[in-house]
Structure 1
Amino acid sequence: MKNTVALVVGGSSGMGKEAAKRLVAQGHTVMILGRSVAKLAQAKQDLTLETGGNIEAVSVNLYDKEAVEQFVTQLENEFRHIQYLINAAGFFKPVSFLEHTKEDYDLQLDINKAFFFITQAVSKNMQHHGGGSIVNIGSMWANQAVKATPSSAYSMQKAGLHALTKNLAIELAEYGIRVNAVAPAVVLSTIYKSFIAEDEIESSLQGFNDFHPIGRIGTTDNIADAIEFLLFEKASWITGTILNVDGGVMAGRN
């Protein structure tokens, strides 16, 4: 077992969980962070059965200021090297701009506040231990508006995360810390369960296949492949990159 820790914020489901599986399989101790104790327990069980590795599950509500502050303090006192960080948590629910409430806005932008200070604490750990690698999960919606899925606050959140990625890449490079992001388009994931029944997500998303020039929606494996590449040594000369993993959507439309 490697004497390093990988932290996956939002590691109990979807893209975060798939990325966590890759890290565990490579021998890293992986700390998965999520809100639901039940989902975390299930994810830990799944990952242990699949990989036989070491998984630590931590329940933190990113919308709870005190809970985030307590977790940041925990990170500041972490003696192990947190070598990898993936910021994967997210919430997606289309709401038209004219109908957006303060609560809708806070559900998006409060995530970035939590990311900001968790990432700051992890970066200090990385600085102390000689470096590390961070990957944020951004979004196509940060770059491209889609009328069928009005997402103004979500797009602001992801655009902010893209901007944070570039700023941290510049500021932290001298400490051996690389910071990149992936920007997925439509991916088969539980992130859509806020407005689609979980057992209907796969069938409902098939209507977006032709939206992507490659002809299909993405999978969590597709995103985890890109995250894995950016995290490790094959991407050692890459930092500040927002990698579109989107089936060709940002290149153009069919």
Structure 2
Amino acid sequence: MITGAAYGIGRATAALFAREGARLTVTDIQGEPLLAFADELRETGVDVETVIGDVSREDDARRMITAATERFGRLDVLVANAGIIPLGDVQEMTAAAWDDVMAIDGRGMFLSCKFGIEAMLATGGGSIVCLSSISGVAGQKRQAAYGPAKFVATGLAKHLAIEWADRGIRVNAVAPGTITTERVNQMRDEPGGAEYLAAVEAQHPMGRMGEPAEVASAIAFLASDDASFITGAVLPVDGGYLAQ
């Protein structure tokens, strides 16, 4: 199951998993693009279940997991990807904006993992990959709400890995740098966004931003049996950003 699969990293991950032969449950709050994407996958012969919902709502998060287990009988992999990226410093961010990002990026990831683990325990284990960020490992300017929310993803991966390692459930995270998702590209049209992105791009030692497919490859590795002795890890996919 991949949350936030209509666009960006979630979409790229679903496409890669489909090419690898996975049976997919894809979810998003944006119904029209999600359903259109699922139809594209089905045209290639992929078995796909779709759930439109909000990961921050407990009933929706539970319904997503239930849809996967009822359709396919089990949940082997959960990619907790859904999130929003507000841009602003602590003076610019409102309390309402803080609550929004913490609800989706924080509470939503907690709920996805909670119900995902419940399903995995019933069938002997599985693998969870949480989407963190370089902002969830180190400080960045103008990430006063998003960065702390991504520290939730980092913390969940570490704590849940320890809680469930002896029950066959691995929990890891990826920490992407700045990736050319639709959301990041939209920042160019926001106040200060173009200047912010130019500065951030220059901070990546490889001299460019990453592509969604590059993050998807890291997620697929952590989800797979090739990473069978890896849990509690936070894997940077950041062009060297965090190595500085």
More moved, 54-63 vs 80-89: 54-63
CA contact (8 A) 1:188 1:205 kept: no
Task: Give me the whole-angstrom Cα distance separating, in 1, the residues matched to 2:53 and 2:238.
Answer: 30
Partner of 2:170: 178
Partner of 1:36: 30
How is 1:27-66 mapped onto 2 (pairs within 5 angstroms)?
A: 27-49=21-43, 51-66=44-59
* CA drift at 1:96: 1.7
Partner of 1:229: 221
More moved, 216-225 vs 68-77: 68-77
SS of residue matched to 1:97: coil
Partner of 1:104: 97
- CA deviation profile, 1:195-245 (whole Å, cap 9, x unmatched): 4459xx99x956644321112110011101111111101111100000011
- CA deviation profile, 1:19-62 (whole Å, cap 9, x unmatched): 1112222222101110111111222133334x421121110023
CA contact (8 A) 1:213 1:247 kept: yes
Partner of 1:4: none
Q: Which runs of 5+ in 1 are unaligned?
A: 1-6
2:124 aligns with one of 124, 130, 146:
130
Q: Which amino acid aligns with 1:8?
A: I
Task: Give me the whole-angstrom Cα distance separating, in 1, the residues matched to 2:61 and 2:46.
Answer: 26
Is the aligned partner of 1:118 residue 2:93? Answer: no
Task: Give me the whole-angstrom Cα distance separating, in 2, the residues matched to 1:46 and 1:190.
Answer: 19
* CA drift at 1:193: 5.5
Give me the CA root mean square deviation.
Answer: 2.5
Normalised TM-score (structure 2): 0.89
Normalised TM-score (structure 1): 0.86
Task: Give me the whole-angstrom Cα distance separating, in 1, the residues matched to 2:62 and 2:168.
Answer: 26
Partner of 2:232: 240
Structure 1 residues 66, 235: CA separation in 2 closer, same or farther (over 3 Å shift)?
closer
CA contact (8 A) 1:76 1:121 kept: no
Partner of 2:212: 220
Structure 1 residues 57, 48: CA separation in 2 closer, same or farther (over 3 Å shift)?
same
* CA drift at 1:103: 1.6
Task: Give me the whole-angstrom Cα distance separating, in 1, the residues matched to 2:42 and 2:71.
Answer: 23
- CA deviation profile, 1:165-192 (whole Å, cap 9, x unmatched): 0011011111111100000111110122
Q: Which amino acid aligns with 2:206?
A: I
2:84 aligns with one of 69, 86, 91:
91
Partner of 2:11: 17
Partner of 1:249: 241
Is the aligned partner of 1:154 residue 2:146? Answer: yes
Q: Number of residue pairs matched? A: 241
Q: Percent identity?
A: 30
Structure 1 residues 63, 133: CA separation in 2 closer, same or farther (over 3 Å shift)?
closer
Task: Give me the whole-angstrom Cα distance separating, in 1, the residues matched to 2:63 and 2:200.
Answer: 40
Task: Give me the whole-angstrom Cα distance separating, in 2, the residues matched to 1:221 and 1:77.
Answer: 29
Q: Which runs of 5+ in 2 are unaligned?
A: none
CA contact (8 A) 1:32 1:57 kept: yes
